Amino acid sequence: MSDGGAADLARRIKAQAFGLGFDLVGITTLGPPATRARFDAWLEAGYAGEMGYLAGDGAELRRDSRRPHAGATHAIVLATQYGGHEPSGPVARYARGDDYHDFLRERTRALHHWLESALGRSINARPYVDSGPVLERDLAQRAGLGWFGKNTMLINPTIGSFFFLSSLFVEVDADVVLAVDDPFEADRCGSCTRCLDACPTQAFVGPRVLDATKCISYLTIELRGAIDEALREPMGGMIYGCDVCQEVCPWNVKFAQELPAGSPFAARAIFVDKDARTLAREILAMDQAEYAAAFKGSAMKRAKLWMLQRNACVVLGNVGTADDLAALQSTQLQEQEVVREHAARALASAAATRAATSVPLTPDDVPARPTNA
């Protein structure tokens, strides 16, 4: 295929991707990522915490993007906005709607089917949507979609950083020449440090180095145990995830988009017009069946019910009022010891706050002694 034919195929692929609803698309070859050494150093420093899937065999696969899918030579890298102008809240914006994994996997498969139809033959390909051993942001930078911000997010100069990444790994036959995009080499953060300064838990070791074990997203979603007491108060009203480092980024302030009507990423009814206290109380009152019904088809099911209840206890300990004490006290019958402990600490914090403000305590305000004390 001539260079003109290669460029034409790339243009057709991009046009189809845009037609399917993707907001950005770039094409790159596969191989060792430019960030391989930084990734290894990050793992070695222990910044991955309990995310063991990033180490071992998972790390080895991530060290060369040709390894996850046998035969693949190129990646069509895609970005889909999930809205950056919706109000802040106790749940990160990306998790308020339907599970992006399922939706984007099907949309990416649709691009695969179109490519097979366009070339008139079967194509060895596989979609990846934040669920395989791939350094997605490295691949996206390699495909020209943006640069690594100081908050480690990929930032695009036209839409900011409130977007999902997905990719279609494809095997391009020797008789097909596919034009690829230039990497995005520029760093457009300049001297700005708003994201680093705004982090509630000061999780950034430095520009582009995140200690995940201090990040609110990790603490509320990935951590399968007790949250460090020193990090509970800085969590404020966050129940699931955190958008602070993106909210303050000038590129998002200027370029992040609102969600279009009917978007699958629009907030579910359980999150609409609901503050952190209200949502926390609702989560504490849920049983397993209610949790399954409320979060069916939601990315939030990555966190088990007991984890959300643990987070809810922290939130009520931070922003709760006397009206929330009963919800915390109800957790003393909780099966999960970690939830009971977080509730007890939250009640103790509430009691201390009321004492400091000279509000008299009632017998019901005194926290029950945790069973593990």
pLDDT tens digits, the chain, 373 residues: what are they?
445 566 899 999 999 999 999 999 999 999 999 999 999 999 999 999 999 999 999 999 999 999 999 999 999 999 999 999 999 999 999 999 999 999 999 999 999 999 999 999 999 999 999 989 999 999 999 999 999 999 999 999 999 999 999 999 999 987 778 999 999 999 999 999 999 999 999 999 999 999 999 999 999 999 999 999 999 999 999 999 999 999 999 999 999 999 988 999 999 999 999 999 999 999 999 999 999 999 999 999 999 999 999 999 999 999 999 999 999 999 988 889 999 999 999 999 877 766 665 544 444 443 443 334 3
Pairing of strands 163-170, 125-128: antiparallel
The overall longest dimension of the chain from CA atoms, in Å, is 82
Clarify whether residues 70 and 211 are in a common domain.
no
What integer pLDDT is reported at residue 4 of this predicted model?
A: 58
Sequence-separated (6 or more) residues with CB below 8 Å from residue 220: 235, 238, 239, 240, 241, 242, 303, 307, 311
Contact assessment for residue 127 and residue 166, using Cβ atoms and an 8 Å cutoff = yes
> Nearest CA to 298 among 79, 94, 21, 86?
94
Clarify whether residues 293 and 153 are in a common domain.
no
Of the residues 142, 170, 198, the one at which a domain ends: 170
The structure's pTM equals 0.91
Phi-psi region of 361 (alpha: psi -120 to 50; beta: other; left: phi over 0): beta
Clarify whether residues 142 and 211 are in a common domain.
no
Sequence-separated (6 or more) residues with CB below 8 Å from residue 132: 68
b (16+ CB within 10 A) / e for 279-292: bbbebbebeeeebe
In the chain the first and final C-alpha atoms are separated, in Å, by 72
Clarify whether residues 7 and 154 are in a common domain.
yes
What integer pLDDT is reported at residue 350 of this predicted model?
A: 79
195 lies in a domain?
no
Rg (CA), the chain: 23
263 lies in a domain?
no
251 lies in a domain?
no
Contact assessment for residue 244 and residue 207, using Cβ atoms and an 8 Å cutoff = no
Distance CA 240, CA 163 (A): 18
Clarify whether residues 291 and 337 are in a common domain.
yes
53 lies in a domain?
no
Sequence-separated (6 or more) residues with CB below 8 Å from residue 297: 98, 99, 102
Clarify whether residues 159 and 210 are in a common domain.
no
Clarify whether residues 9 and 121 are in a common domain.
yes
56 lies in a domain?
no
b (16+ CB within 10 A) / e for 7-24: eebbeebbebbeeeebbb
Q: The domain containing residue 18 runs over which residues?
A: 3-30+65-170
Structural domains of the chain, count: 2
193 lies in a domain?
no
Clarify whether residues 134 and 228 are in a common domain.
no
> Nearest CA to 236 among 312, 315, 307, 309?
315
Clarify whether residues 26 and 79 are in a common domain.
yes
182 lies in a domain?
no
Single-letter residue type at 239: I
What integer pLDDT is reported at residue 356 of this predicted model?
A: 62
What integer pLDDT is reported at residue 357 of this predicted model?
A: 58
Pairing of strands 147-148, 204-206: unpaired
Clarify whether residues 149 and 93 are in a common domain.
yes
Distance CA 94, CA 109 (A): 21
What integer pLDDT is reported at residue 352 of this predicted model?
A: 73
What integer pLDDT is reported at residue 334 of this predicted model?
A: 86
Task: Please give the positions annotated as active site.
Answer: 130
The length of the chain, given as a count of residues: 373
Q: What are phi and psi of 44, to 5 degrees?
A: -60, -35
Of the residues 111, 145, 170, the one at which a domain ends: 170
37 lies in a domain?
no
Supply the DSSP symbol for 107: H
Number of helical (H) and strand (E) elements in the chain, helices listed first: 15, 8
Clarify whether residues 225 and 277 are in a common domain.
yes
Distance CA 266, CA 83 (A): 8
Clarify whether residues 133 and 280 are in a common domain.
no
Distance CA 38, CA 205 (A): 13
What integer pLDDT is reported at residue 164 of this predicted model?
A: 98
